[in-house]
Amino acid sequence: MFRSVPRFWLVFDIVGSAVGLLLTLPLTFTFEAGTMSRWIPDGTASYLLVLLVAVILWGAAAISRLSPVLALGVAWFGAVVQMACGFSPGAYDLAILAVVFATSAWGSVRLLWIGGASALGGGLLAGIYMSLINEQALIQDAETGLRVALVAVLLGTVSVLTLVMAWGGSAGVRQGGDRAAVGLARGEQRDLGEHQDA
């Protein structure tokens, strides 16, 4: 479940996630001021819940290289809490891109495809969720249902493309790692053959 990660990269991931949290949380509070949640009134409770969701998501990003499978589970938990609280997508959701990237770059082959499925499913779910929580902002008439469906398709497509690009963007990292492993295995075989010949 946990990979062996050099200390430098572990510190880099933790510090990078802390910086990500410190940069994206104020942006989220600024852009969502007055409408943090669709059903929890703005106040101490909603601000603390936003902080909790942001910490969960950036915490998932912090451990994504160490344990991509655990990071994916934590990110899904954070996303479910975010939707349960009625929060709009915030800048802190950028942490999810790091987690999806990690599933493809450092996960097993099975996790690679689970991460891809999560990118597709999560993007579609995000599109539906965003269109439903913003339904009141749409013109309310006989065509509102169709309008919500079209917005869901549009937002879902954008979300899926964003997540799939993060997932697929790590192919070079994975391919480079696979090449290094193959090269190491060939070197060991060559050394073993030379040792036996001697």
> pLDDT by residue (tens digit) across 104-153?
898 888 998 999 999 999 999 999 898 888 766 655 666 767 877 887 88
Average pLDDT, the chain: 84
Q: Which single residue is written with the structure tokens 């998501």?
A: 57
Residue 34 in 3-state DSSP?
coil
User: HSE of 42 in the Cβ direction (CA atoms, 13 Å)?
Assistant: 7
Q: Are 75 and 98 in contact (CB under 8 A)?
A: no
DSSP 138: S
Ramachandran class of 3: left when φ > 0, alpha when ψ lies in -120 to 50, beta otherwise = beta
Cα separation, 6 vs 29, whole angstroms? 35
Letter for the amino acid at 190?
R
Cα separation, 92 vs 17, whole angstroms? 10
Q: Are 98 and 63 in contact (CB under 8 A)?
A: no
User: pLDDT band for position 67 (50/70/90)?
Assistant: very high
Enter the pTM of the model. Answer: 0.81
Residues 6+ apart with CB under 8 A from 55: 21
